[in-house]
């Protein structure tokens, strides 16, 4: 009863925050999809962290620790603690800069313009959604199962999933990204505080850390080390999995919500500590569960965290833990739903069907309709969801991680081409499908039991396809380089200008317009400002290639209210 | 070499070293308790804290040059 009441109060609090967020809504599509790029450092940290912490990860880590011991922390937590902030530092800040300058709201939009290819955009749209939608379904089905377990069936699985869908529908459809951001800030705080509190309660009841681990060591010493449980190659290759964060559409879109690139400083620096705060209790409770539940539990291992808290702490803490788990479920689920809706609205409806014919209001309405449709479809699929499909989750991570080289190339390698990127995406799709089929029954998710995770192979093939095909195809034109790599564009242009001067054909306006700036940068800057610079071949080509920022096409952008 | 560049080089090297240190093969079979925790767990908890410190230095002393706004 206490648990149900706390879950009820929690849902009510989420709805109130979602309702409040609507009061800040500016009514524009940029506000609906990227919260007018107004997020400060603290909310950016909480949202980036919350979106990565699914309930299934927290419960799954606890279940893994119950079976495999303390090595799970090194495998899943400390590898993410280093890799994910570095992705924010190198990639997130660069994506934000380009997104702000060019008005991007989705990853597909960025890739389409970067490589000047609608077909590549469409290919990525299909692949990203094919990887994200199963992940979304796993989250919802897992949420329903978790609520059923924690309430001992009082809330059945279908009702748990329905409650999550309805609450998310209320604040995402109503408040869009701004609603999701404010709710998730609250939810991530809840997760950070309550996990530690529940763990402290259990450890205290077991007589303190030392006494508890002495008991585990006496009965199951193998759980206190990694030998025999985790292989060194597994630990090494697991560090590739967190690269997936760069290609998650919902994380890419969240980067675009930042107020400035400097808002990334706090998330980069503090993310490892947040990881430790949430994962340590999860792994500790999983290992300590062997004291009370000594027989290996098989599939029920994922319930160990809940069972330990139930056994050792007062009912109110169980209720609070249930609220924290709901928070973990919803703060990734809502951003994923919004990401799919954003891609459908911008990359399909707006780009192909109603370019320049869709008002701001209509675009928000389409986005809301997609949110409703995606939630309804996901809920219906969750009703027939087979729990054996849960392991598809780690394969979705594999697919996203293997696509990471294309993002890196798009941002930092001017010589990469659309053919190279397409080859990498197709190679990932083909190899990923093959491995899912052949390795599905492998008990430890390693290649032929070697300890090497499949992600290492798919990532290597993806990078090789990208490099080889890019080098074998025609380099991108100067116009593209001028937009995305002003320095590289300038170098090419200088070469061209030198040739032109030698031939006596330099356009008169070039020197004046370029001034002290590199010519490519000047061209890109002027084009971005909507000017009509005619500063030579590269600048003209840049304008022709669509150098006008996407967001400015709908007219004046209103000033955002700060979040 | 500018101050930012020198710091960036130093901190990137520190991160590379951390990546190597993440693979703590020397603790693979060690079951001792340190501060109440198994040493393999305490080590990786400390790893998270040290990583956070290095990243904090990175954002203060060597913010990416493209990140101007």
Residue that is written with structure tokens 């989420």 in the block: A14
CB A278 within 8 A of CB A195: yes
What SS3 class is residue A28? coil
Q: Around Cβ B11, how many Cβ atoms within 10 Å?
A: 18
Tokens, residue B67 = 């990140």
Summarize the confidence of residues B42-47 as an average pLDDT. Answer: 97
Strand partners, A39: A258
- Burial (0-12, 13-18, 19+ Cβ within 10 Å), A294: exposed
Q: B64 at the A interface (CB within 8 A)?
A: yes
Most confident of A203-217, A362-376, A389-403: A203-217
Q: Which residue has the higher pLDDT, A471 or A330?
A: A471
Is residue B34 within a helix (H) or strand (E), and if so which, with residue range? Answer: strand B33-34
Residues 6+ apart with CB under 8 A from A471: A415, A420
What value, to the nearest 5°, has the Cα angle with vertex A228 and ends A222 and A231?
A: 130
Most confident of A72-86, A291-305, A518-532: A72-86
Helix axes A392-402, A404-412, angle to 10 degrees: 20
Residues 6+ apart with CB under 8 A from A47: A39, A180, A181, A184, A185, A188, A254, A257, A331, A335
Confidence of residue B53 (pLDDT cuts 50, 70, 90): very high
A contacts of B45 (beta carbons < 8 Å): 73, 78, 276, 280
**What's A90's DSSP letter?**
I
**Cα–Cα distance between A346 and A354 in angstroms, integer?**
10
Inter-chain residue contact A269 with B36, CB threshold 8 Å: no
Q: B11 at the A interface (CB within 8 A)?
A: no
Q: Looking at CA atoms only, how far is residue B52 from chain A in angstroms?
A: 5
Inter-chain residue contact A273 with B48, CB threshold 8 Å: yes
pLDDT, one tens digit per residue, over A223-249 is 999 888 889 999 999 999 999 999 999
**Cα–Cα distance between A94 and A105 in angstroms, integer?**
14
Tokens, residue A449 = 């039991």
Residues 6+ apart with CB under 8 A from B22: A74, A78, A79, A82, A235, A239, B47
Task: Count CA atoms closer than 13 A to A213's CA, side-chain side.
Answer: 23
Residues 6+ apart with CB under 8 A from A334: A168, A171, A172, A180, A183, A184
Q: B41 at the A interface (CB within 8 A)?
A: yes
What pLDDT is stored for residue A498 in this prediction? 56
Nearest to B47 among A78, A236, A261 (CB): A78
- Enter the ipTM: 0.96
Residue that is written with structure tokens 């054996």 in the block: A388
**Cα–Cα distance between A316 and A383 in angstroms, integer?**
30
Is residue A251 within a helix (H) or strand (E), and if so which, with residue range? Answer: helix A249-256
Residue A518 has pLDDT above 50, yes or no: no
pLDDT, one tens digit per residue, over A14-62 is 888 888 887 777 777 778 788 888 889 999 999 999 888 877 677 788 8
What value, to the nearest 5°, has the Cα angle with vertex B46 and ends B44 and B47?
A: 60
Residue B17 has pLDDT above 90, yes or no: yes
Summarize the confidence of residues A209-233 as an average pLDDT. Answer: 91
Nearest to B40 among A94, A225, A262 (CB): A225
pLDDT, one tens digit per residue, over A256-313 is 999 999 999 999 999 999 999 999 999 999 999 988 888 766 667 777 888 888 888 8
Which chain B residue lies closest to A69 (C-alpha atoms)? B41
Most confident of A1-5, A23-27, A139-143, A217-221: A217-221
Q: Which residue has the higher pLDDT, A131 or A497?
A: A131
Residues 6+ apart with CB under 8 A from A344: A370
Q: B22 at the A interface (CB within 8 A)?
A: yes
Which chain B residue lies closest to A411 (C-alpha atoms)? B66
Nearest to B23 among A235, A262, A270 (CB): A235
What pLDDT is stored for residue B69 in this prediction? 64
**Cα–Cα distance between A277 and A273 in angstroms, integer?**
6
**Cα–Cα distance between A154 and A74 in angstroms, integer?**
36
What pLDDT is stored for residue A505 in this prediction? 39
Task: Return mean pLDDT, chain B.
Answer: 92
Q: Looking at CA atoms only, how far is residue B4 from chain A in angstroms?
A: 15
**Cα–Cα distance between A361 and A28 in angstroms, integer?**
7
Q: Looking at CA atoms only, how far is residue B47 from chain A in angstroms?
A: 7
Q: Looking at CA atoms only, how far is residue B21 from chain A in angstroms?
A: 11
Inter-chain residue contact B37 with A97, CB threshold 8 Å: no
In this complex, how many residue pairs, one in chain A and one in chain B, have their CB atoms less than 8 Å apart?
Answer: 128
Summarize the confidence of residues B22-38 as an average pLDDT. Answer: 93
Confidence of residue A418 (pLDDT cuts 50, 70, 90): very high
Helix axes A418-439, A454-472, angle to 10 degrees: 160
What pLDDT is stored for residue A450 in this prediction? 82
Q: Looking at CA atoms only, how far is residue B2 from chain A in angstroms?
A: 19
What pLDDT is stored for residue A524 in this prediction? 36
Summarize the confidence of residues A399-422 as an average pLDDT. Answer: 96
**A37-to-A246, A252, A559, B26 alpha-carbon distances in Å:** 19, 13, 10, 46
pLDDT, one tens digit per residue, over A137-186 is 888 888 888 888 888 888 898 998 899 889 888 888 877 888 888 888 88
Q: Around Cβ B35, how many Cβ atoms within 10 Å?
A: 11
**pTM, entire model:** 0.85
Which chain B residue lies closest to A87 (C-alpha atoms)? B55
Nearest to B56 among A79, A269, A280 (CB): A269
Inter-chain residue contact B69 with A73, CB threshold 8 Å: no
CB A377 within 8 A of CB A407: no
What SS3 class is residue A446? coil
Most confident of A109-113, A185-189, A504-508, A513-517: A109-113
Residue that is written with structure tokens 């978790």 in the block: A146
pLDDT, one tens digit per residue, over A494-509 is 555 555 544 443 333 3
Tokens, residue A167 = 């609450």
What pLDDT is stored for residue A494 in this prediction? 56
**Cα–Cα distance between A546 and A543 in angstroms, integer?**
5
What pLDDT is stored for residue A557 in this prediction? 40
Counting every residue written for chain B, the total comes to 69
Inter-chain residue contact B55 with A272, CB threshold 8 Å: yes
Residue that is written with structure tokens 């869709």 in the block: A358
**Cα–Cα distance between A390 and A141 in angstroms, integer?**
9
CB A185 within 8 A of CB A43: yes
What pLDDT is stored for residue B40 in this prediction? 95
CB A141 within 8 A of CB A161: yes
Helix axes A79-87, B3-22, angle to 10 degrees: 150
Task: Return mean pLDDT, chain A.
Answer: 82
Inter-chain residue contact A225 with B45, CB threshold 8 Å: no
Confidence of residue A255 (pLDDT cuts 50, 70, 90): very high
**What's A563's DSSP letter?**
-
What pLDDT is stored for residue A488 in this prediction? 61
**Cα–Cα distance between A273 and B51 in angstroms, integer?**
9
Tokens, residue A374 = 């995606």
Q: Around Cβ A384, how many Cβ atoms within 10 Å?
A: 7
């Amino acid at each position: 009863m206490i648990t149900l009441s706390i879950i009820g109060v929690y849902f009510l609090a989420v709805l109130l925050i979602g309702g409040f967020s609507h009061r800040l809504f500016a009514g524009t599509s940029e506000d609906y999809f990227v919260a007018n790029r107004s997020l400060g450092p603290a909310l950016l940290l909480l949202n980036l962290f919350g979106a990565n912490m699914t309930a299934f990860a927290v419960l799954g880590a606890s279940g893994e620790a119950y079976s495999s011991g303390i090595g799970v922390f090194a495998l899943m937590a400390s590898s993410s603690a280093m890799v994910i902030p570095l992705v924010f530092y190198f990639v997130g800040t660069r994506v934000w800069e380009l997104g702000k300058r060019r008005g991007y709201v989705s990853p597909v939009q960025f890739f389409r313009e970067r490589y000047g290819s609608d077909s590549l955009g469409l290919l990525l749209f299909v692949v990203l959604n094919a990887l994200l939608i199963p992940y979304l379904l796993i989250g919802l089905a897992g949420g329903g199962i978790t609520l059923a377990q924690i309430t001992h069936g009082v809330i059945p699985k279908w009702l748990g999933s329905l409650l999550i869908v309805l609450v998310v529908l209320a604040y995402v459809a109503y408040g869009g990204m701004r609603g999701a951001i404010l709710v998730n800030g609250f939810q991530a705080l809840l997760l950070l505080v309550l996990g530690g509190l529940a763990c402290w309660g259990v450890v205290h009841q077991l007589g303190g850390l030392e006494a508890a681990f002495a008991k585990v060591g006496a009965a199951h010493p193998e759980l206190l080390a990694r030998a025999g449980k985790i292989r060194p190659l597994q630990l090494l290759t697991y560090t590739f999995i967190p690269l997936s964060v760069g290609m998650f559409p919902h994380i890419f879109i969240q980067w675009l919500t930042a107020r400035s690139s400097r808002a990334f400083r706090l998330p980069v620096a503090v993310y490892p500590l947040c990881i430790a705060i949430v994962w340590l209790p999860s792994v500790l409770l999983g290992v300590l569960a062997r004291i009370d539940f000594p027989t290996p539990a098989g599939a029920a291992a994922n319930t160990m965290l809940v069972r330990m808290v139930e056994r050792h702490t007062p009912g109110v803490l169980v209720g609070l833990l249930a609220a924290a788990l709901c928070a973990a479920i919803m703060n990734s689920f809502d951003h994923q739903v919004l990401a799919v809706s954003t891609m459908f609205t911008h990359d399909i409806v707006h780009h192909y069907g109603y370019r320049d014919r869709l008002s701001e209001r209509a675009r928000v309405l389409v986005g809301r309709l997609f949110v409703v449709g995606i939630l309804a479809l996901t809920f219906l699929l969750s009703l027939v969801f087979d729990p054996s499909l849960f392991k598809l989750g780690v394969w979705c991570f594999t697919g996203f991680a293997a696509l990471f080289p294309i993002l890196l190339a798009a941002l930092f390698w001017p010589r990469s081409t659309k053919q190279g990127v397409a080859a990498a995406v197709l190679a990932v799709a083909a190899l990923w499908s093959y491995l899912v089929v052949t390795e599905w029954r492998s008990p430890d998710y390693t290649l032929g039991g070697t300890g090497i995770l499949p992600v290492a192979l798919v990532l290597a093939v993806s990078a090789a396809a990208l490099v080889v095909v890019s080098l074998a195809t025609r380099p991108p034109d100067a116009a593209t380089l001028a937009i995305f790599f002003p320095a590289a564009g300038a170098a090419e242009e200088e070469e061209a200008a030198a040739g032109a001067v030698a031939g006596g054909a330099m356009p008169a306006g070039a020197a004046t317009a370029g001034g002290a700036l590199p010519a490519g940068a000047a061209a890109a800057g002027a084009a971005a400002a909507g000017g009509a610079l005619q500063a030579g071949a590269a600048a003209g080509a840049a304008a022709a290639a669509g150098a006008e920022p996407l967001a400015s096409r709908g007219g004046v952008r209103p000033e955002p209210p700060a979040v | 070499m500018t101050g930012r560049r020198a710091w960036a080089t130093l901190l990137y090297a520190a991160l590379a070293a951390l990546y190597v240190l993440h693979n703590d093969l020397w603790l693979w079979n060690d079951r001792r308790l340190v501060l109440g925790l198994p040493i393999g767990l305490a080590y990786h908890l400390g790893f998270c804290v040290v990583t956070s410190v290095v990243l904090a230095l990175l954002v203060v002393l060597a913010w990416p040059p493209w990140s101007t706004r």
